[in-house]
Chains A and B, each alone.
Chain A
Amino acid sequence: MRRPLGAVVPIRRFARCVVLALVLLASGTALAQKSGGTLRVTHRDNPPSASIHEEATISTVMPFASVYNNLVQFDLSTDRQNRLETVSPELATAWSWSEDGRRLSMKLRAGVRWHDGMPFTSADVKCTWEQLIGQRDIGLRKNPRRSWYFNLKSVEASGPQDVTFILAEPQPSFLVLLAGGMSPVYPCHVNGAQMRTHPIGTGPFRFGELKQNESMRVVRNPDYWKPGKPFLDAIEFTIIANRSTSVLAFGAGKFDLTLTGDLPPSMVDEVRAQAPSTICEVQTTNTQANLLINRDRPPFDNAEIRRALNLVIDRNAFIEIIGRGQFLIGAAMMPPPSGLWGMPAEDLASVEGYGTDMATRRAQAQGIMRKLGYGPDKPLRLKVSTRNIPAYRDPAVLLIDHIKHAYLEADLEPIDTGAWYVRMLKKDYQVGLNVQGIGIDDPDVVFFENFACGSERNYTAYCNKDMEALFHRQSQMIDFAARRKLVWEIDRKLQEDGARPVISHQRQGTCWWPYVKSIRLSSNSIYNHWRFEDVWLDR
Chain B
Amino acid sequence: MSVTVPLDHNAELRRAGAFAHGFFGQARFLARRYPLGAAGAIILIFFILCGIFAEWVAPMDPLTTNAKYSLAAPSARNWMGADMMGRDEFSRIVHGARISLMVAISATGLGAIFGVSIGLASGYIGGWFDLVFQRVVDVLQSLPLLVMALVITAALGPSLENTIIAIALPLIPSVSRVIRSNTLSLREMPFVEAAQAAGMSEWRIAIRHVLPNTLAPLIVLATAQLGSTILTEASLSFLGLGVPEPHPSWGRMLSESAAEYVRTAPWLVIFPGLAISLIVFGTNLLGDAMRDLLDPRQRS
Find out whether A and B make contact in their complex, taking CB atoms under 8 A apart as touching. yes
Residues of A within 8 A of B (CB): 242-244, 247, 264, 266-267, 269-270, 273-274, 314, 316-317, 320-322, 324, 388-390, 393-394, 396-398, 400-401, 412, 414-416, 419
A270 touches B65 (CB 8 A): no
A243 touches B259 (CB 8 A): yes
B177 to chain A, nearest CB (A): 33
User: Looking at the complex, which one of B158, B260, B261, B264 makes contact with A414 (CB distance below 8 Å)?
Assistant: B158
B85 touches A321 (CB 8 A): yes
User: Looking at the complex, which one of A274, A316, A320, A412 makes contact with B244 (CB distance below 8 Å)?
Assistant: A412
**Closest A residue by C-beta to B154:** A416
What residues on A are CB-neighbors of B64 within 8 Å?
401
A266 touches B261 (CB 8 A): yes
C-alpha gap A274/B246 in the complex (Å): 30
C-alpha gap A69/B91 in the complex (Å): 54
C-alpha gap A419/B63 in the complex (Å): 27
B259 touches A242 (CB 8 A): yes
Known: A244-B258, A244-B259. A398 touches B264 (CB 8 A): no
Known: A393-B245, A414-B244, A414-B245. A398 touches B262 (CB 8 A): no
A266 touches B260 (CB 8 A): yes
User: Looking at the complex, which one of A243, A317, A419 makes contact with B260 (CB distance below 8 Å)?
Assistant: A243
B194: CB under 8 A from chain A?
no
A398 touches B260 (CB 8 A): no
B17: CB under 8 A from chain A?
no
A388 touches B240 (CB 8 A): yes
**Closest A residue by C-beta to B86:** A321
Known: A317-B65, A320-B67, A397-B245. A390 touches B256 (CB 8 A): yes
C-alpha gap A176/B262 in the complex (Å): 42
C-alpha gap A397/B240 in the complex (Å): 16
A388 touches B260 (CB 8 A): no
How many B residues touch A, CB cutoff 8 Å?
Answer: 25
Q: Quick one: CB contact mask for B59-95 with A, threshold 8 Å, 1 for yes? A: 0000111010011000000000000111000000000
What residues on A are CB-neighbors of B70 within 8 Å?
320-321, 324
B264 touches A388 (CB 8 A): no
C-alpha gap A393/B240 in the complex (Å): 11
Residues of B within 8 A of A (CB): 63-65, 67, 70-71, 84-86, 154, 157-158, 240-241, 244-246, 256, 258-264
C-alpha gap A322/B85 in the complex (Å): 8
B257 to chain A, nearest CB (A): 9
Q: Other CB < 8 Å A-B pairs besides A274-B263, A397-B246, A398-B85, 11 of them?
A: A264-B260, A266-B71, A316-B67, A317-B65, A321-B67, A388-B158, A390-B256, A393-B245, A397-B85, A401-B63, A416-B154
C-alpha gap A269/B70 in the complex (Å): 14
**Closest B residue by C-beta to A400:** B246
What residues on B are CB-neighbors of A320 within 8 Å?
67, 70
Known: A316-B67, A321-B67, A394-B85. A270 touches B244 (CB 8 A): no
What residues on B are CB-neighbors of A400 within 8 Å?
246
A465 to chain B, nearest CB (A): 38
**Closest B residue by C-beta to A396:** B245
User: Looking at the complex, which one of B65, B85, B256, B263 makes contact with A273 (CB distance below 8 Å)?
Assistant: B263
C-alpha gap A321/B260 in the complex (Å): 14
B264 touches A266 (CB 8 A): yes
C-alpha gap A314/B86 in the complex (Å): 15
A273 touches B260 (CB 8 A): no
C-alpha gap A324/B65 in the complex (Å): 14
**Closest B residue by C-beta to A410:** B246
A412 to chain B, nearest CB (A): 5
B224 to chain A, nearest CB (A): 29
C-alpha gap A324/B264 in the complex (Å): 12
C-alpha gap A316/B66 in the complex (Å): 12
**Closest A residue by C-beta to B264:** A269
The residue in B64, B65, B86, B262 that gathers the most chain A C-beta atoms within 10 A of its C-beta is B65
What residues on A are CB-neighbors of B241 within 8 Å?
388
